[in-house]
Amino acid sequence: MDTQRPKNITIFDVAQASGVSYSTVSRVLNGFTFVKESTRLKVLEAAEELGYVANMQARSLAGGKSKVIGLLVPQLDNGYINEICRGIDQALVKVGYDLMLYTTHHEKDKEAKYVKAITNGLTDGLLLLVPLVPAAYIAMLREQNYPYVLIDQGDNAGESYIVDSTNWQGAYDATKHLLELGHSRIAFVSGIPELSSSRDRLEGFKAALQEYDVPFDSSLIAEGFFEAELAIEATTYLLSLNPRPSAIFASNDLSALGAMEAVRQAKLRIPEDISIIGFDDIPQASITYPKLTTIRQPLEQMGRVAVKLLLEQIEKPDLKPRRVTLATQLVVRDSVKQIA
């Protein structure tokens, strides 16, 4: 507000126009406390006429709700995060909340200060879509009794609202799918070892193997860290094995995409020479060629549920944290083929 901008019409103007005190206006605007229906209507009408729009900063400063929630993400560059954001956005629009987007850019050192700034800012709550949330975060959040929900990650303490999906089951299903199509030499491109989702996927993989009496071979595990680049390297290594694996289970679609690239670079064909299955079902999965068979995480839905859980806390601050785990689903497309 630097230069001469027209004065905003405030709750005060509305009060004047409707002939009541401005605290009454505040009351009707917030829907709280009983107000005579006639005055209520009068105020609403005046507000409408004057084109009044609430000033969220003032409201928030004064101790009300800002109707803004924060979303903390590491960065803005993959379909996975984007899909969840969409779900969040959808849910937020419905309830008339706005979104403040914070990107951490992996600056772990500044994170505590960051979270502090966010919580004492205008947001009513915080959605954490960051892998590897330092416990410090959570402790601070809990301490301040600040509403937050963890998306797709655990908190090692069971004291947070969490939304995630069936990682173990999904990995189990993926592996089983491969096994049932005759694959037995199945390589695994792992994720970020510190993440429970990664570990669960590996466990699901092992469990399926065991169930089909296929011995687990650790030389068939290569580290992909959920990244395309590293997955290319990992896959290149896996392809050099002798005998070569007949299928690769990549811990997420991003690394599956990397795996596909590596296979192409090696002049091999998918799925004729090697089958690939991913995890997530990000939008890119269905536009690659061949289209990627994968385990679908209901990403958008996770976003929506996260918002729901957050609003739940904002409205009823004393509820016990709960965890919602959504079901994954096998999506069969073209990157896996049956073998002898």
Partner DNA sequence: CTGAAAGCGCTAACAG
Partner DNA sequence: CTGTTAGCGCTTTCAG
Can you give the binding site for DNA, defined by CB under 7 A? 7-8, 10-12, 20-24, 26-27, 29-30, 32-36, 38-40, 52, 54-55, 58-59, 61-64
Place of tokens 């995480």: 297
Q: Contact between 156 and a copy of itself (CB under 8 A)?
A: no
Residue 324 touching a copy of itself (CB under 8 A)? no
Least Å distance, CB 259 to DNA, is 50
Q: Is 120 in the site for a copy of itself (CB under 8 A)?
A: yes
As a whole number of angstroms, the distance between CA 177 and CA 247 comes to 11
Residue 15: CB minimum distance to DNA, A:
7
Determine the Cα–Cα distance for residues 112 and 133; give it in Å rounded to an integer: 11
5 part of the interface to a copy of itself, by CB under 8 A: yes
Pick from 78, 115, 96: which is nearest to 257 by CA? Answer: 78
**CA–CA separation, 264 vs 162, rounded Å?**
38
Phi-psi region of 169 (alpha: psi -120 to 50; beta: other; left: phi over 0): alpha
Q: Considering CB distances under 5 to 8 angstroms, the limit depending on partner class, which of a copy of itself, DNA, none binds residue 32? A: DNA
> Between the CA of residue 81 and those of 40, 71, 90, 167, 282, what are the distances in Å?
43, 11, 14, 17, 9
The CB-of-258 to DNA minimum distance in angstroms stands at 46
86 lines the binding site for a copy of itself (CB under 8 A): yes
Nearer to a copy of itself, 3 or 38 (CB): 3
Residues 214-273, interacting with a copy of itself (CB under 8 A): 257, 261, 264
List the one residue out of 124, 153, 123 whose CA is nearest residue 138: 153
Strands of the chain, DSSP E: 68-73, 98-103, 125-128, 148-151, 161-165, 186-190, 221-223, 247-250, 275-280, 293-296, 323-326, 329-331
Least Å distance, CB 298 to a copy of itself, is: 16
Q: Is residue 30 at the binding interface for a copy of itself, with CB under 8 A as the rule? A: no
Kindly state whether residue 312 participates in binding a copy of itself, applying the rule CB under 8 A. Answer: no
The site partner of 105 among a copy of itself, DNA, none (C-beta below 5 to 8 Å per kind) is a copy of itself
